[in-house]
Structure 1
Amino acid sequence: MSTQNFTLPDVGEGLTEAEIVTWKVAPGDTVAINDVICEIETAKSLVELPSPHAGTVGELLVAEGATVEVGTPIITFVQADAAAPAAPAPAAAAPAAEEGGGSVLVGYGSGGGATSRRKRPAERPVRSSVGVIAKPPIRKLARDLGVDLTTVTPSGADGEVTRDDVMKLASQASVFRNIETPEWGAVREETVPAPQNAPVGLARGVAPVAASVSASDAERTESIPVKGVRKATSSAMVQSAYSAPHVTVWKDVDATRTMELVKRLKAAPEYADIKVSPLLIVARAVIWALRRTPMINAAWIETENGAEIAVRHYVNLGIAAATPRGLLVPNIKDAQDLGMKDLARALNRLTLTARDGKTTPADQQGGTFTITNIGVFGMDAGTPIINPGQAGILAMGTISQKPWVVDGEVRPRWVTTVAGSFDHRVVDGDAMSRFIADVASVLEEPALLVD
């Protein structure tokens, strides 16, 4: 018998560390090449790590929740000696699947033959003590969304709870969560650790929390480690806010015709399998407006010879997505080349992938401009922070019926607010004002998109 260590690989570009979120195997389990052994969380993504070996799991060297550096041994595999004769299989056993040559982690090396995948134990539905049938990923999704699985009506085969069941109940709960005013909690104060590189002086003159609370208060205070997506987000936002001079402009818009277009598209047969929302029209409007004012799609670049401005003549359109793991900003590559229907499909894929926690680091790299849809939270407007490496970001507010003056008469119209923050080193106020005015013009009259 021989024992082999498997070290944490670099699953992204320049990954330095990752957190072991969930082990999918236990000591003594038999695994095949490419079976998922664990889920890891990098600064940007939740990634399933496949096994590079076929054999028996020896020892899990890293506990769930621990963060380790790339190259750290995380698991051992016990493999039979090549010279040892194979044990005879029981008569009733199914024939073993053929394994490819070599123990190579697919995606992180070369070679390795195709394998027949068996269903992993972690993928099989698990029945809890209260009788709920749900796979582990569905249970994790329910925990992240605060959904009690015992209150979910299952729609899957044999009474299994599906992802759609959990999402449906979560969305229903979110509609009613603000109707009642909650009671004051038992914990009077909560401290969230700040990023290590937070600027000095933000809380100047404020006494440390620990000095102002009693021992009993300290025992009731929860400390939340800053890691993974939250750590990456905090670092990026601090870098952006304290390096790029931010300015924000905004405009109220009569989006009634946009809402009419969305309604027509939803009823069109060619869009029967595509989810259509006002975000689709906003995305098209942004792409159109960026073409008319390219400096909004630029970036400030520091070089050895001084600073320069890089103007991108393509649009990798980022969409800020609030997920159970935190804020992610995947982007649609070369969005300027997509028609309305293809852009709608790309937005659907982006949303579903982010919701499932499967957004890869590559999907989040190379963005040139970002849209953040704060309207889904019922917000009218905001002052968004620019993503590093970009010169602008647009915030879309909620679309609601309000009184609006049309031809001298007050009428109910669908009204929204679009706001744009920009890096004043790259963009002047007149350019961003033209950009926001262009976006507003399209929302007021989507026929402008037909050119």
Structure 2
Amino acid sequence: MIREFRLPDLGEGLTESEILSWRVAEGQLVTLNQVIAEVETAKAVVELPSPFEGVVARLHEAEGTVVEVGKPIISFDVIDTDVPVPAAPEPQRRQPTLVGYGAEPDRAGRPARRARRGLAAPAEPTPPAPAPARTPSPAAAPAPAAAPAPAAVITDAPVRERPRSTPPVRKLARDLGIDLALLTGTGPQGRILRADVEAARLADRGRSGESVTAETAVPPVVADAPHLGQGREERIPIAGIRKHTAAAMVSSAFTAPHATVFLTVDVTASMQLLEKLRSRKEYDGVRLTPLVLAAKAVCLALRRHPELNARWDEPAREIVRYRYVNLGIAAATPRGLMVPNIKDAQDLGLRELALAISDLARTAREGRTPPAALSGGTVSISNVGVFGVDAGTPILNPGEAAILALGAVRSQPWEYEGGIALRQVTTLSLSFDHRLVDGAEGAAFLRDIGDVLAEPAMVLAMD
């Protein structure tokens, strides 16, 4: 029975995803929940598990294609568990591959991995043979009379895997007339890079006797990174996470009226607390940073200022206040800015909060953040201090009422106990939605966060 798998909705509000790579090929036997593809949404890179067990009948979309949610991307010839699977033929009884009806089993009896469409290696011409009678698959359902199944094609030609490369590299190869199937990639896992294509172009010119001069040579580049020597301008497609972030920031900036307040705080006591905690056995291997303390301070301050843990519901004409904190942490990744959130952060102790932040950052950098972690946030923190920045005016994450920017901690002369001393100082910046939060409320919330960071013992006086 042929079953289609349509691209699912991988996150709130997402309408499309790009197929980065297929992990299976047509004719390959796939088990339930086996990873079949890697796709990039506007928020993260996601591995798609197979919803069926059976043979891959068709890959509907090629790598590098942007597909709308709900469109079919792969079809399976689903295995009927009530029908016994025929035994694989003996290795010495080599049978021709029936394209469209599965691949020939290997010596272990497993279906061999078959090349993708249109990538069979050239074969020596052979005289035409009479077309054999088509034998339907044992598990396949009868095809409707109006749409008969295509005839099976017999081929003994060796097949080749589709070369691994990125869409820009494949376009460059097409423009230069380079056959990627003839190249050996020098990138990770044999991936063909831009430099490999350009080197092949230069080699072709040398073989054809065409002179290679400074004007005609393609400048060498490293991997797939942009190169300043390629003209005076560079055009980069707006897609993926960058596209989503841009749309979200524009929507937030022009929907919610932003207001920002600043507070500079002596955090020497907090830095001393971190040093003491690092020496304790229960914090071995735990990364303790000013961000961890700021996250805890935000959760504590929200108890006293719930109006900052809310959202404006325009269709319902209501203000929704949350009784939980899904704390977003802005993360700079190779794919762009992401704001995954820690669910129910208000229930975590300092150690658990530190571990959650470390795991969140590592997962985001590796591109493995699940879509669920990128939705449902209630308030966010942006740690601009790691870039050496003192302050800023952060833009709200859409649907949230507040975002705190934590600046760099610096040693500065500061008034202390009636004199001037060198102290550890940072600047806090709080942007908030002025529809939900008045200036006085925003200032009081920021003041409470500052009090906790200036004197951690202040948590004992907060109720």
State whether TM-score is above 0.5.
yes
2:264 equivalent to 1:258: no
* 1:11 alignment partner in structure 2: 10
Match among 324, 333, 346 for residue 323 of structure 1: 333
2:434 equivalent to 1:390: no
Which structure 2 residues correspond to residues 266-305 of structure 1 after superposition, within 5 A? 266-304=278-316
Q: CA RMSD of the aligned region, Å?
A: 3.4
Q: Distance in 2 between matches of 1:446 and 1:312?
A: 25
Query: In 2 relative to 1, CA 37–286 (structure 1 residues): closer, same or farther, beyond 3 Å?
Result: same
Counterpart code for 1:271 = Y
Q: Distance in 1 between matches of 2:410 and 2:300?
A: 24
Q: Distance in 2 between matches of 1:131 and 1:40?
A: 23
Residue aligned with 2:282, SS: helix
Give 1 or 2 for the bigger CA radius of gyration.
2
Counterpart code for 1:248 = T
Shift of 1:77: 4.3
Q: Distance in 1 between matches of 2:18 and 2:414?
A: 51
* 2:32 alignment partner in structure 1: 33
Whether the aligned pair in 2 keeps the contact of 1:17 and 1:68 (CA below 8 Å) is yes
Query: In 2 relative to 1, CA 340–84 (structure 1 residues): closer, same or farther, beyond 3 Å?
Result: closer
* 2:436 alignment partner in structure 1: 426
* 2:456 alignment partner in structure 1: 446
* 1:358 alignment partner in structure 2: 368
Shift of 1:83: 7.1
- What does the per-residue CA deviation read over 1:23-66, in whole Å, with 9 as the maximum and x for residues that have no partner? 22344544333221211112222110122344454543322221
2:423 equivalent to 1:413: yes
Query: In 2 relative to 1, CA 84–344 (structure 1 residues): closer, same or farther, beyond 3 Å?
Result: closer
Which structure 2 residues correspond to residues 163-242 of structure 1 after superposition, within 5 A? 185-186=228-229, 220-242=232-254
Residue aligned with 2:346, SS: helix
Residue aligned with 2:400, SS: coil
Counterpart code for 1:343 = L
2:378 equivalent to 1:368: yes
Whether the aligned pair in 2 keeps the contact of 1:248 and 1:420 (CA below 8 Å) is yes
Whether the aligned pair in 1 keeps the contact of 2:88 and 2:109 (CA below 8 Å) is no
Residue aligned with 1:242, SS: helix
Whether the aligned pair in 2 keeps the contact of 1:284 and 1:449 (CA below 8 Å) is no
Q: Distance in 1 between matches of 2:366 and 2:328?
A: 18
Counterpart code for 1:22 = S
* 1:345 alignment partner in structure 2: 355
Shift of 1:269: 0.5
Q: Distance in 1 between matches of 2:380 and 2:443?
A: 17
TM-score when scaled to structure 1? 0.68
2:88 equivalent to 1:87: yes
- What does the per-residue CA deviation read over 1:373-415, in whole Å, with 9 as the maximum and x for residues that have no partner? 1111111100001112111110001112122221233322211
- What does the per-residue CA deviation read over 1:277-327, in whole Å, with 9 as the maximum and x for residues that have no partner? 1111001111111111221112222135xx332222321111111112211
Query: In 2 relative to 1, CA 257–243 (structure 1 residues): closer, same or farther, beyond 3 Å?
Result: same
Query: In 2 relative to 1, CA 254–329 (structure 1 residues): closer, same or farther, beyond 3 Å?
Result: same
* 1:22 alignment partner in structure 2: 21
TM-score when scaled to structure 2? 0.67
2:42 equivalent to 1:68: no
Whether the aligned pair in 1 keeps the contact of 2:12 and 2:375 (CA below 8 Å) is no
Shift of 1:423: 1.2
Query: In 2 relative to 1, CA 344–66 (structure 1 residues): closer, same or farther, beyond 3 Å?
Result: same
Shift of 1:365: 1.8
* 1:166 alignment partner in structure 2: none
Q: Distance in 2 between matches of 1:130 and 1:387?
A: 41
Residue aligned with 2:295, SS: helix
Whether the aligned pair in 2 keeps the contact of 1:403 and 1:410 (CA below 8 Å) is yes
- What does the per-residue CA deviation read over 1:326-374, in whole Å, with 9 as the maximum and x for residues that have no partner? 1111111221122212222222222222222122222122211110111
* 1:49 alignment partner in structure 2: 48
Could you list the runs of 5+ residues in structure 1 that have no partner in the other structure? 104-120, 122-127, 144-183, 188-216
Query: In 2 relative to 1, CA 135–32 (structure 1 residues): closer, same or farther, beyond 3 Å?
Result: farther
* 1:162 alignment partner in structure 2: none
Whether the aligned pair in 2 keeps the contact of 1:312 and 1:368 (CA below 8 Å) is yes
- What does the per-residue CA deviation read over 1:206-254, in whole Å, with 9 as the maximum and x for residues that have no partner? xxxxxxxxxxx6xx53322222222221121111111111111111111
